[in-house]
Amino acid sequence: MLFSYNAFKRIPFYSALILFAVSWGATALSVDNALDSARRRLAENYELSQLRSMTPQQIMEQLTEEECAAFANEHIRFQINCPAKVYVLYDSRFEEKGPFEAFWLKDHAFERTDVQVSSDGDYFVGYARDFDAGAVGLGINSFSGNYLHYFIAVQPLRKEDTLTISGIYPQSIRTAAFQKGVRPYTHPEWQPIDSYSPALEGATLLQVDARWRRTTKLLDFFAETDYPASPRPDNIILTWSSDPRYTQSILWRTSEESRQGAVAYMKKKDYRHFTPGAPVIKEAQSLRHESIHLLNQPVIYTHTATLTDLEPDTSYVYAVGDGSSDGWSALNEFTTAPDKEAPFSFIYMGDVQVGYPRWRSLLERAWQDQPNARFYMLAGDNVNRGVDRNEWDAFFAHTTGVFDHRVVVPALGNHEYIGGDPTLFEDFFVLPENGPENIAPEHCFSFEYSNALFVIVDTNLLPEEYVGWLDETLGQSHAVWKFVMMHHPLYSSGINRDNVWLRDTLLPVFDRHHVDMVLQGHDHAYLRTGPMRDNQKAERPADGTYYVVSVSGTKLYKLADRPYADVAYEHLSTYQVIDLQLNPPRLVYRSFDVDGNMKDEVIIEK
């Protein structure tokens, strides 16, 4: 049965409490299940234009009682051991700009108070309610995904009580004493609380994940892909999931009319014979993807095959398809890594995120001017919203002719996490699974190519989750050159950005193992430091680590004046090529704009 918003407003308080109690019952609907059922029903019953014009009240009128109960109670849960006042601290912009979407606050008898909290220019208003000892269940932030997610303060009602909070869901929520200097959100990138009302003195803060604000979207959720798949394979890319000398992973997509895939491949020298040899056929693993929000093509299939037992430093030709005689793509090619020290070059790019046609021009410039580059490294934020498949459709469509010939090595940026966990990143790239055992595979990994070690780190995670692995990986390598790629920079280029929490943890590791270059993104303004060691400029290039921040898309930031910057530009998209030479070991780093103009150069000799 559909649930009327106006009817919901007329529910007596005791009925709201019944809804509140549902959250702790065995049959309560989860928020994820409620979102899935509501989104499917909306997609089936409305056109895109209608969905895009809906208001929060109109969305509420489409929900069932069970869905409304889930959205009101199941987002955050915890237990308290004594009577307490619970403050839900909402972004004040919901009140200023409206409409205020937290329907559940009023119906759970939360009252607006004069309590306020500020953090780095953002202001939060407190809604409070007294609870007896026992269960507390709170609702979603919004249906729009707008503004910042609320956080929570809990204050015992009796001075003699010592508050204990247990059974917290989601488990990633952390608790801390409510005071100045404490961050309202779990990730250390967020700025701390700088002022708060006296009523919160002595309260316990529940720090939430700020990214949750976009996970419950029903407004402005639906879209259409501008690059729908067909039964013919497209969006073909090359990645590495194991040793680059002996393996090659290949991925592509099709519409749901083509549900199986295969790769045909052979050595390029054999293909060039007058009587070519027969190709090897490798069956692919095929995976169904459903994106409810894409009304014109919610379902596609991705296909992945990892070729093994290849010969080092050897070129192969390949085609992908469904295995039928006329179902193959055009021929592409790849070359495996050498099994001994050899000179090579690679491309590094910062954030793409938006402006794919313009980024395509930069990618083509790199491809044309650096044809010998063996692979491409992307420092995260490859798309703007990681949960939106239509953005990945556009991203991959603009890589055709490059990433089907050269391997792409991506890192996770914060925008891969926008809207939820980066499951599409995990599905659309097949990467090494040799990272820390305590985190999800493919978020942190490493590989060696010739005489160089490459370590890729997911800086959306807390550094203590991977710093031990990073230290060990760098320490065990005997590579001549060591590179780390990660999204958030240790030395920022953007205004009002400084990742002290990251620098304090990782800088000693990079110094200890003499990482040569750290390749970064996030700040959307070009900056390269001189050689840095112990947070100071080193005397010689070979004595320190170079830190680079770059951007390759069209979203550009103003540049901050930084004392550690040797070269810096704002409003400039670039690609970087790094040449590693032998006899003697020599690194030549160069940065180019879309017109092929060199903007920066560094030479390091060992």
If one counts every other C-beta atom within 10 angstroms of the C-beta of residue 548, the result is 28
pLDDT, greater one: 5 or 44: 44
Least confidently predicted of 105-109, 205-209, 274-278, 502-506: 274-278
9: its two tokens: 């407003």
Q: Model pTM?
A: 0.92
**3-state secondary structure (DSSP) of residue 52:** helix
Q: Where are the beta strands (DSSP E) in 197-343?
A: 204-207, 234-239, 248-255, 262-267, 280-283, 285-290, 299-307, 315-321, 332-335
268: which residues sit within 8 A by CB, 6+ positions away? 314, 315, 316, 317, 333
CA distance 576 to 560: 21
For residue 107, pLDDT over 90 is answered with: no
Q: pLDDT averaged over the chain?
A: 93
Q: What is the mean pLDDT of residues 575-584?
A: 96
**Residue 27 binned pLDDT confidence (cut-offs 50, 70, 90):** low
Q: What is the mean pLDDT of residues 344-358?
A: 97
149: which residues sit within 8 A by CB, 6+ positions away? 91, 141, 185, 208, 209, 210, 211, 212, 213
pLDDT, greater one: 361 or 606: 361
Least confidently predicted of 322-326, 339-343, 403-407: 322-326
pLDDT for residue 97: 75
CA distance 345 to 592: 15
What sign for the dihedral angle of Cα 194, 197, 198, 199? negative
pLDDT for residue 24: 46
Residue 280 sits at φ, ψ, to 5 deg, of -85, 135
C-alpha dihedral, 356 to 289 to 225 to 144, nearest 10°:
-90
Q: In the chain, what are the domains?
A: 2-214 (no CATH), 252-340 (2.60.40.380), 341-605 (3.60.21.10)
For residue 602, pLDDT over 70 is answered with: yes
β-pairing, 134-138 vs 122-131, is: unpaired
pLDDT digits (tens, 9 = 90+) for 170-219: 999 999 999 999 999 998 888 899 999 999 999 999 999 999 999 999 99
pLDDT digits (tens, 9 = 90+) for 214-272: 999 999 999 999 999 999 999 999 999 999 999 999 999 999 999 999 999 999 999 87
H or E stretch covering 5:
helix 5-9
pLDDT for residue 550: 98
pLDDT for residue 184: 97
Spatial CA neighbour of 486 closest among 465, 461, 513: 461
CA distance 133 to 139: 19
Q: Are 566 and 559 in contact (CB under 8 A)?
A: no
Label residue 364 exposed, middle or buried (CB < 10 Å: 0-12, 13-18, 19+): middle
How much of the chain exceeds pLDDT 90, in percent? Answer: 89
Which residue carries 């954030």 as its tokens?
A: 351
pLDDT for residue 496: 86
CA distance 265 to 253: 18
pLDDT for residue 14: 31
390: its two tokens: 């239509």
pLDDT digits (tens, 9 = 90+) for 463-509: 999 999 999 999 999 999 999 999 999 999 988 899 999 999 999 99
What sign for the dihedral angle of Cα 200, 203, 205, 206? negative
Residue 467 sits at φ, ψ, to 5 deg, of -65, -35
For residue 96, pLDDT over 90 is answered with: no
Q: What is the mean pLDDT of residues 457-466?
A: 96
Directed axis angle between helix 65-73 and helix 13-22, to 10°? 80
CA distance 17 to 581: 71
Spatial CA neighbour of 254 closest among 223, 292, 305, 289: 289
